[in-house]
Amino acid sequence: MTTFSAHGLQQAGARRTVDHRSLAVRLADAEGALTAFLERWSIPALRVALGAVFVVFGALKFFPGASPLEPLVEATWGVLTFDLVGGQIALVLTAVIETTAGLLLISGRFARAGLVVLAVAFVGILSPIVFFTDQLVTAAGPTLLGQYVAKNFVLIAAALVIASRVLHGRTGTR
């Protein structure tokens, strides 16, 4: 059995072939749309996520006993300030620095200032690697505290990605 169509004679039951070129074009269009979406939103999302991490972990330090890092924070401030700053003052200062950096990053408008505050915070955050290596790494490997400090390298990398966009000065993405 045969049928006639606008395109000429066609056998009944014949399968319609897929136009691979149009499928490739549609896939390329979808990839282009995804790329545009990622270029627009991935770094702002990273900026907000990094800011949120610092707000949450910084805020914990406002409440005595809430942060598992209290002894390390106090000891680090002691070393960095030649024992001029320590105890609860060290925790509050750290909380202020970290939450301020986080809020500035989240705002977007003040992300440059947030990156500067974050750079200051990273000095203190990474100092235990030099001053308290024995508490961070043992013969068996990194301690839980060491793992906690090591994860900051990912946060630093995230801050560098954000800085590349913010310092580039693209409007609407800061």
- DSSP notation for the chain: -EEEETTEEEETTPPPPP-HHHHHHHHHHHHHHHHHHHHHHHHHHHHHHHHHHHHHHHHHTTSTTS-TTHHHHHHHHHHHTTTSS-HHHHHHHHHHHHHHHHHHHHHSTTHHHHHHHHHHHHHHHHHHHHH-HHHHEETTEE-HHHHHHHTHHHHHHHHHHHHHHHTTT-TT--
Per-residue pLDDT in tens (0 to 9) along the chain, 174 residues: 555 555 555 555 556 665 667 888 999 999 999 999 998 999 999 999 999 999 999 999 999 999 999 999 999 999 999 999 999 999 999 999 999 999 999 999 999 999 999 999 999 999 999 999 999 999 999 999 999 999 999 999 999 999 999 988 655 444
pTM for this entry: 0.80
